[in-house]
Amino acid sequence: MIAIRNLSLFGVLFGFVVVALGAWTRLVDAGLGCPDWPGCYGFVVFPTSEAEVAIAEARFPQFPYDINKAIPEVVHRYFAATLGLVAIMLSYISFKQREDINIRYWCLGLLVFICCQGLFGYLTVSLKLLPIIVTGHLFGGFITVSLFFFIFVRAGNFDLLDRFNIQSLKYIALTCLVLLLIQIFLGAWTSTNYASLACPDFPTCQGSFSPEMDFKTGFSFDQEVGPNYLYGLLDNPSRVAIHYSHRVTALILTFAYLILISRLWFTAAAPLASTVGVILLTQISLGIMNVVYVLPLYIAIAHNLVAAMLLISTLMINYLAWKKSA
Protein backbone atom coordinates (compact mmCIF):
# COMPACT_ATOMS: atom_id res chain seq x y z
CA MET A 1 0.00 0.00 0.00
CA ILE A 2 2.96 2.33 0.51
CA ALA A 3 3.76 2.13 -3.21
CA ILE A 4 0.15 2.92 -4.09
CA ARG A 5 0.10 5.83 -1.66
CA ASN A 6 3.32 7.34 -3.02
CA LEU A 7 2.41 6.81 -6.66
CA SER A 8 -1.09 8.24 -6.22
CA LEU A 9 0.38 11.29 -4.47
CA PHE A 10 2.69 11.75 -7.45
CA GLY A 11 -0.41 11.43 -9.64
CA VAL A 12 -2.14 14.21 -7.69
CA LEU A 13 0.83 16.56 -8.04
CA PHE A 14 1.41 15.68 -11.68
CA GLY A 15 -2.33 16.02 -12.28
CA PHE A 16 -2.11 19.63 -11.14
CA VAL A 17 0.58 20.19 -13.77
CA VAL A 18 -1.64 18.65 -16.46
CA VAL A 19 -4.58 20.84 -15.37
CA ALA A 20 -2.34 23.91 -15.58
CA LEU A 21 -1.10 22.89 -19.02
CA GLY A 22 -4.67 22.29 -20.18
CA ALA A 23 -5.66 25.76 -18.96
CA TRP A 24 -2.61 27.24 -20.69
CA THR A 25 -3.52 25.52 -23.95
CA ARG A 26 -7.09 26.78 -23.72
CA LEU A 27 -6.21 30.35 -22.74
CA VAL A 28 -3.71 30.89 -25.57
CA ASP A 29 -6.24 29.45 -28.06
CA ALA A 30 -3.97 26.51 -28.88
CA GLY A 31 -6.69 23.85 -28.88
CA LEU A 32 -6.18 23.45 -32.63
CA GLY A 33 -2.46 24.15 -32.49
CA CYS A 34 -2.19 20.62 -33.91
CA PRO A 35 -5.19 19.87 -36.16
CA ASP A 36 -4.62 16.10 -36.03
CA TRP A 37 -4.30 13.57 -33.21
CA PRO A 38 -2.17 12.00 -31.74
CA GLY A 39 0.49 13.56 -33.97
CA CYS A 40 1.01 17.21 -34.81
CA TYR A 41 0.65 17.96 -38.52
CA GLY A 42 1.64 14.34 -39.11
CA PHE A 43 4.80 14.58 -36.96
CA VAL A 44 5.50 12.87 -33.65
CA VAL A 45 6.46 16.25 -32.19
CA PHE A 46 5.69 19.68 -33.67
CA PRO A 47 7.49 20.73 -36.90
CA THR A 48 10.60 22.82 -36.35
CA SER A 49 12.57 23.21 -39.59
CA GLU A 50 11.39 25.17 -42.62
CA ALA A 51 11.07 21.94 -44.61
CA GLU A 52 8.89 20.35 -41.91
CA VAL A 53 6.72 23.47 -41.69
CA ALA A 54 6.22 23.41 -45.46
CA ILE A 55 5.16 19.74 -45.27
CA ALA A 56 2.82 20.51 -42.36
CA GLU A 57 1.07 23.35 -44.16
CA ALA A 58 0.75 21.24 -47.30
CA ARG A 59 -0.96 18.51 -45.26
CA PHE A 60 -3.37 20.92 -43.53
CA PRO A 61 -3.69 24.04 -45.71
CA GLN A 62 -6.79 25.20 -43.82
CA PHE A 63 -4.78 25.39 -40.57
CA PRO A 64 -1.73 27.69 -40.93
CA TYR A 65 1.10 26.47 -38.73
CA ASP A 66 1.86 28.52 -35.61
CA ILE A 67 4.65 27.13 -33.43
CA ASN A 68 3.48 29.27 -30.49
CA LYS A 69 0.22 27.29 -30.49
CA ALA A 70 1.69 23.93 -31.43
CA ILE A 71 4.05 23.89 -28.43
CA PRO A 72 1.35 24.21 -25.71
CA GLU A 73 -0.78 21.57 -27.42
CA VAL A 74 2.03 19.03 -27.80
CA VAL A 75 3.38 19.62 -24.28
CA HIS A 76 -0.12 19.14 -22.84
CA ARG A 77 -0.61 15.91 -24.80
CA TYR A 78 2.65 14.33 -23.69
CA PHE A 79 2.20 15.29 -20.05
CA ALA A 80 -1.34 13.89 -20.13
CA ALA A 81 -0.02 10.68 -21.69
CA THR A 82 2.54 10.43 -18.89
CA LEU A 83 -0.28 10.72 -16.36
CA GLY A 84 -1.90 7.78 -18.15
CA LEU A 85 1.28 5.76 -17.64
CA VAL A 86 1.12 6.58 -13.92
CA ALA A 87 -2.44 5.22 -13.86
CA ILE A 88 -1.29 2.02 -15.60
CA MET A 89 1.46 1.52 -13.02
CA LEU A 90 -1.00 2.22 -10.23
CA SER A 91 -3.45 -0.37 -11.56
CA TYR A 92 -0.70 -2.96 -11.91
CA ILE A 93 0.55 -2.44 -8.35
CA SER A 94 -2.99 -2.49 -6.94
CA PHE A 95 -3.60 -5.95 -8.38
CA LYS A 96 -0.33 -7.22 -6.90
CA GLN A 97 -1.18 -6.22 -3.30
CA ARG A 98 -3.65 -8.05 -1.02
CA GLU A 99 -4.22 -5.52 1.80
CA ASP A 100 -7.16 -3.70 0.21
CA ILE A 101 -8.92 -5.59 -2.57
CA ASN A 102 -11.39 -2.79 -3.32
CA ILE A 103 -8.70 -0.21 -4.07
CA ARG A 104 -7.79 -2.07 -7.25
CA TYR A 105 -11.21 -1.23 -8.65
CA TRP A 106 -10.66 2.44 -7.94
CA CYS A 107 -7.28 2.28 -9.68
CA LEU A 108 -8.80 0.47 -12.64
CA GLY A 109 -11.64 3.00 -12.76
CA LEU A 110 -9.06 5.80 -12.79
CA LEU A 111 -7.28 4.18 -15.72
CA VAL A 112 -10.54 3.80 -17.66
CA PHE A 113 -11.42 7.42 -16.93
CA ILE A 114 -8.04 8.67 -18.18
CA CYS A 115 -8.54 6.64 -21.36
CA CYS A 116 -11.87 8.43 -21.77
CA GLN A 117 -10.04 11.71 -21.26
CA GLY A 118 -7.73 10.73 -24.11
CA LEU A 119 -10.79 10.06 -26.26
CA PHE A 120 -12.17 13.48 -25.39
CA GLY A 121 -8.81 14.98 -26.33
CA TYR A 122 -9.08 13.32 -29.73
CA LEU A 123 -12.69 14.51 -30.15
CA THR A 124 -11.68 18.04 -29.15
CA VAL A 125 -9.42 18.16 -32.19
CA SER A 126 -11.46 16.07 -34.63
CA LEU A 127 -14.70 17.97 -33.88
CA LYS A 128 -12.89 21.33 -34.08
CA LEU A 129 -13.45 22.52 -30.51
CA LEU A 130 -17.10 21.50 -30.17
CA PRO A 131 -18.06 23.34 -26.94
CA ILE A 132 -19.61 20.46 -25.00
CA ILE A 133 -16.64 18.21 -25.79
CA VAL A 134 -14.08 20.82 -24.75
CA THR A 135 -16.02 21.53 -21.56
CA GLY A 136 -16.18 17.83 -20.76
CA HIS A 137 -12.45 17.51 -21.39
CA LEU A 138 -11.62 20.42 -19.08
CA PHE A 139 -14.01 19.16 -16.41
CA GLY A 140 -12.54 15.67 -16.68
CA GLY A 141 -9.13 17.00 -15.72
CA PHE A 142 -10.47 17.99 -12.30
CA ILE A 143 -12.13 14.61 -11.84
CA THR A 144 -8.84 12.89 -12.69
CA VAL A 145 -7.00 14.79 -9.94
CA SER A 146 -9.83 13.96 -7.53
CA LEU A 147 -9.60 10.24 -8.27
CA PHE A 148 -5.84 10.23 -7.69
CA PHE A 149 -6.42 12.06 -4.40
CA PHE A 150 -9.13 9.66 -3.26
CA ILE A 151 -6.84 6.69 -3.93
CA PHE A 152 -4.04 8.45 -2.02
CA VAL A 153 -6.23 9.02 1.05
CA ARG A 154 -7.63 5.50 0.96
CA ALA A 155 -4.20 3.91 0.56
CA GLY A 156 -2.63 6.16 3.20
CA ASN A 157 -4.74 4.82 6.06
CA PHE A 158 -3.81 7.90 8.12
CA ASP A 159 -4.53 7.34 11.82
CA LEU A 160 -4.68 11.11 12.36
CA LEU A 161 -7.88 11.32 10.32
CA ASP A 162 -9.70 9.05 12.76
CA ARG A 163 -9.74 11.93 15.27
CA PHE A 164 -11.97 13.99 12.99
CA ASN A 165 -15.53 12.98 13.80
CA ILE A 166 -17.58 15.26 11.54
CA GLN A 167 -20.35 12.86 10.60
CA SER A 168 -22.95 15.50 11.45
CA LEU A 169 -21.64 17.66 8.59
CA LYS A 170 -22.01 15.08 5.84
CA TYR A 171 -25.02 16.70 4.14
CA ILE A 172 -23.66 20.25 4.05
CA ALA A 173 -20.31 18.83 2.93
CA LEU A 174 -22.01 16.91 0.12
CA THR A 175 -23.98 20.03 -0.84
CA CYS A 176 -20.75 22.02 -1.14
CA LEU A 177 -19.17 19.28 -3.24
CA VAL A 178 -22.11 19.13 -5.66
CA LEU A 179 -22.27 22.93 -5.95
CA LEU A 180 -18.53 23.09 -6.53
CA LEU A 181 -18.72 20.52 -9.33
CA ILE A 182 -21.49 22.56 -10.96
CA GLN A 183 -19.39 25.70 -10.59
CA ILE A 184 -16.33 24.04 -12.13
CA PHE A 185 -18.47 22.88 -15.05
CA LEU A 186 -19.81 26.43 -15.47
CA GLY A 187 -16.26 27.77 -15.37
CA ALA A 188 -15.24 25.33 -18.10
CA TRP A 189 -18.34 26.27 -20.13
CA THR A 190 -17.47 29.95 -19.68
CA SER A 191 -13.94 29.39 -20.99
CA THR A 192 -15.09 27.14 -23.82
CA ASN A 193 -17.51 29.75 -25.11
CA TYR A 194 -15.04 32.64 -24.74
CA ALA A 195 -17.33 34.30 -22.19
CA SER A 196 -14.70 35.07 -19.54
CA LEU A 197 -14.72 38.77 -20.46
CA ALA A 198 -18.39 39.04 -21.40
CA CYS A 199 -18.76 41.07 -18.21
CA PRO A 200 -15.75 43.42 -18.22
CA ASP A 201 -16.66 45.12 -14.93
CA PHE A 202 -17.26 44.05 -11.32
CA PRO A 203 -19.54 43.73 -9.40
CA THR A 204 -21.85 44.91 -12.17
CA CYS A 205 -21.94 43.33 -15.63
CA GLN A 206 -21.76 45.82 -18.48
CA GLY A 207 -22.78 48.55 -16.04
CA SER A 208 -25.87 46.73 -14.78
CA PHE A 209 -26.90 44.10 -12.26
CA SER A 210 -29.44 42.86 -14.80
CA PRO A 211 -27.79 42.95 -18.23
CA GLU A 212 -29.37 41.60 -21.40
CA MET A 213 -28.95 37.81 -21.37
CA ASP A 214 -29.92 34.89 -23.62
CA PHE A 215 -29.85 31.71 -21.52
CA LYS A 216 -31.48 29.53 -24.17
CA THR A 217 -28.69 30.06 -26.70
CA GLY A 218 -25.94 30.36 -24.10
CA PHE A 219 -26.71 26.94 -22.66
CA SER A 220 -27.56 25.16 -25.89
CA PHE A 221 -25.32 22.10 -25.71
CA ASP A 222 -26.04 21.03 -29.30
CA GLN A 223 -25.06 24.31 -30.94
CA GLU A 224 -23.58 24.33 -34.44
CA VAL A 225 -19.86 24.80 -34.78
CA GLY A 226 -19.15 25.60 -38.42
CA PRO A 227 -15.57 25.14 -39.74
CA ASN A 228 -14.27 25.32 -36.17
CA TYR A 229 -15.13 27.00 -32.89
CA LEU A 230 -11.99 29.07 -32.42
CA TYR A 231 -12.91 32.36 -30.69
CA GLY A 232 -16.54 31.25 -30.41
CA LEU A 233 -19.72 31.91 -32.35
CA LEU A 234 -22.17 33.06 -29.66
CA ASP A 235 -23.54 36.61 -29.58
CA ASN A 236 -23.01 38.96 -26.64
CA PRO A 237 -26.26 38.27 -24.69
CA SER A 238 -25.52 34.53 -24.79
CA ARG A 239 -22.00 34.98 -23.46
CA VAL A 240 -23.25 37.36 -20.77
CA ALA A 241 -25.77 34.72 -19.66
CA ILE A 242 -22.96 32.17 -19.29
CA HIS A 243 -20.63 34.52 -17.44
CA TYR A 244 -23.37 35.85 -15.15
CA SER A 245 -24.46 32.32 -14.27
CA HIS A 246 -20.88 31.58 -13.20
CA ARG A 247 -20.90 34.66 -10.95
CA VAL A 248 -24.28 33.93 -9.35
CA THR A 249 -23.34 30.31 -8.69
CA ALA A 250 -20.12 31.56 -7.09
CA LEU A 251 -22.21 33.61 -4.62
CA ILE A 252 -24.40 30.62 -3.76
CA LEU A 253 -21.32 28.43 -3.41
CA THR A 254 -19.63 30.95 -1.11
CA PHE A 255 -22.67 31.06 1.15
CA ALA A 256 -22.73 27.24 1.38
CA TYR A 257 -19.01 27.12 2.17
CA LEU A 258 -19.37 29.75 4.88
CA ILE A 259 -21.91 27.48 6.60
CA LEU A 260 -19.57 24.50 6.25
CA ILE A 261 -16.53 26.43 7.51
CA SER A 262 -18.40 27.88 10.49
CA ARG A 263 -19.56 24.42 11.56
CA LEU A 264 -16.16 22.83 10.94
CA TRP A 265 -14.53 25.47 13.11
CA PHE A 266 -16.06 24.05 16.29
CA THR A 267 -14.90 20.49 15.67
CA ALA A 268 -11.58 18.67 15.86
CA ALA A 269 -11.26 19.39 12.13
CA ALA A 270 -10.85 23.14 12.70
CA PRO A 271 -7.54 23.16 10.72
CA LEU A 272 -9.53 21.99 7.70
CA ALA A 273 -11.89 24.94 8.16
CA SER A 274 -8.93 27.34 8.05
CA THR A 275 -7.49 25.64 4.98
CA VAL A 276 -10.75 25.67 3.05
CA GLY A 277 -11.37 29.29 4.07
CA VAL A 278 -7.99 30.45 2.74
CA ILE A 279 -8.44 28.49 -0.52
CA LEU A 280 -11.96 29.88 -0.98
CA LEU A 281 -10.86 33.47 -0.37
CA THR A 282 -7.96 33.02 -2.79
CA GLN A 283 -10.27 31.61 -5.45
CA ILE A 284 -12.75 34.46 -5.12
CA SER A 285 -9.91 36.99 -5.36
CA LEU A 286 -8.50 35.34 -8.47
CA GLY A 287 -11.95 35.34 -10.11
CA ILE A 288 -12.35 39.07 -9.49
CA MET A 289 -8.80 39.76 -10.71
CA ASN A 290 -9.52 37.89 -13.93
CA VAL A 291 -12.24 40.43 -14.69
CA VAL A 292 -10.56 43.58 -13.39
CA TYR A 293 -7.19 42.89 -15.06
CA VAL A 294 -8.70 41.48 -18.29
CA LEU A 295 -7.85 37.79 -17.91
CA PRO A 296 -4.06 37.75 -17.35
CA LEU A 297 -2.68 34.35 -18.35
CA TYR A 298 -1.03 33.39 -15.06
CA ILE A 299 -3.96 34.55 -12.94
CA ALA A 300 -6.36 32.58 -15.11
CA ILE A 301 -4.18 29.46 -14.81
CA ALA A 302 -3.98 29.98 -11.04
CA HIS A 303 -7.79 30.22 -10.98
CA ASN A 304 -7.93 26.69 -12.41
CA LEU A 305 -5.34 25.32 -10.00
CA VAL A 306 -6.96 26.80 -6.90
CA ALA A 307 -10.30 25.37 -8.07
CA ALA A 308 -8.64 21.94 -8.10
CA MET A 309 -7.25 22.59 -4.59
CA LEU A 310 -10.72 23.55 -3.35
CA LEU A 311 -12.12 20.39 -4.93
CA ILE A 312 -9.72 17.98 -3.26
CA SER A 313 -10.05 19.73 0.11
CA THR A 314 -13.84 19.43 -0.19
CA LEU A 315 -13.42 15.81 -1.19
CA MET A 316 -11.34 15.26 1.97
CA ILE A 317 -14.08 16.76 4.14
CA ASN A 318 -16.66 14.51 2.50
CA TYR A 319 -14.41 11.49 2.95
CA LEU A 320 -14.17 12.20 6.68
CA ALA A 321 -17.85 13.05 7.06
CA TRP A 322 -19.10 9.91 5.34
CA LYS A 323 -16.40 7.47 6.45
CA LYS A 324 -17.78 6.96 9.94
CA SER A 325 -21.22 6.02 8.66
CA ALA A 326 -19.99 3.76 5.87
CB 65 within 8 A of CB 47: yes
Q: Which element (helix H / strand E) includes 255?
A: helix 236-264
CA 202 to chain centroid, in Å, comes to 24
**Nearest alpha-carbon partner for 310 in 279, 272, 278:** 279
> Which one is catalytic: 50, 52, 57, 73?
73
Give SS3 for 102. Answer: coil
Residue 161 to residues 153, 154, 176, Cα–Cα distance (Å): 10, 11, 20
Q: Are 262 and 166 in contact (CB under 8 A)?
A: no
Cα separation, 73 vs 128, in Å, equals 14
Q: What is the 3-state secondary structure (H, E, C) of 190-230?
A: HHHCCCCCCCCCCCCECCECCCCCCHHHHCCCCCCCCCCCC
Q: Rounded to 10 degrees, what is the CA torsion of 238, 242, 248, 253?
A: 160
Q: Return d(Cα 35, Cα 229) in angstroms, integer.
A: 13
Separation CA 26–CA 17 (nearest Å): 14
- Give the end-to-end CA distance of the chain in Å, rounded to a whole number: 21
Task: Give the integer Cα–Cα distance in Å for 172 and 72.
Answer: 39
Coil, strand or helix at 40 = strand
CA distance 321 to 248: 27
Catalytic residue list contains 73: yes
- Active site members: 73
